[in-house]
Amino acid sequence: MRGLRILLIVVVILGVLFVVVDRVALHFAEEEAASKVKTSENLASTPDVSIKGFPFLTQVASGELDDVELGVGQYEAPTGNTSASGGATTIRIDDLKADMKDVKFSSGYSSATAASATGTASISYDQLLKAAKSAPTSVFTGVTAQIVSLSDGGDGKIKADMKVTVTGIGTTTYPVLSTVTVVGNTVKVHADNLPKLVVDLADSRIRSITDFQQTLDQLPGGVKLDSVQAAKSGVDIKVKGSNVRLAG
């Protein structure tokens, strides 16, 4: 009995030591992964990396992690525009959270790729406004218009405030409810109805101001836009991808 008791104590001690070593190794791996992601994605701050599942060391031995969560506070997504061509060269994406499944890494731990990834993020209205025509644009003789602000229009719509100036008369701001959609990696805003200005012949010119789009040329790890929904402080987006590069 005494020998059995000693054996049980040894097993318990070894189990505790294994858990401690496993958690220490996990913490180190998360810090290293976060540092690599910051470097590879050229982030301004270190992201949050959380490796799920227990034990961690057995996952390492298999060369694959079941589930890795990535959090990026702010990410400047390239738009494909250049300073010479005009338009915003980057759009800030806030609170990007991605859940990556079946993450395989190289033998030297220099790179890691997830079989699939899903996530959420948001784009504030002031950032999306960069894609609209913010300068007064002629829509008819003596009439100019411009989008001056974007906000939540309720029921999944964006409210675009369009300021219209008529020479010799004055300025009026018209609220325009718009639908926001995603095509590929491009966010599109399309006015549901146009305000009647001067004559219907100006409608196409007005729509060139109310309707606009913004392409996000590159997202972390190569994930793609999946859907977009107007919300209180901006548009909420969902992302997804396969063979997503986590680092390296």
Establish whether the linkage from the previous residue to 220 is cis, with ω within 30° of 0. Answer: no
Whole-number pLDDT of residue 42: 80
Tokens 């859907």 label which residue?
Answer: 227
Residue 7 vs residue 196, higher pLDDT: 196
8: pLDDT strictly greater than 70: no
First to last CA, the chain: 54
- The pLDDT tens digits of the residues spanning 97-114 come to 999 899 887 766 667 888
Please tell me the distance from the alpha carbon of residue 232 to that of residue 83, in angstroms, as a whole number: 31
Tokens 């405030």 label which residue?
Answer: 161
Residue 178 vs residue 208, higher pLDDT: 178
Whole-number pLDDT of residue 2: 56
Whole-number pLDDT of residue 177: 94
- The pLDDT tens digits of the residues spanning 147-173 come to 999 999 999 999 999 998 888 888 989
Q: What is the mean pLDDT of residues 213-228?
A: 85
Whole-number pLDDT of residue 107: 62
Q: What is the percent of the chain with per-residue pLDDT over 70, rounded to a whole number?
A: 83
- The pLDDT tens digits of the residues spanning 74-101 come to 888 887 776 555 667 888 999 999 998 9
Residue 117 vs residue 78, higher pLDDT: 117
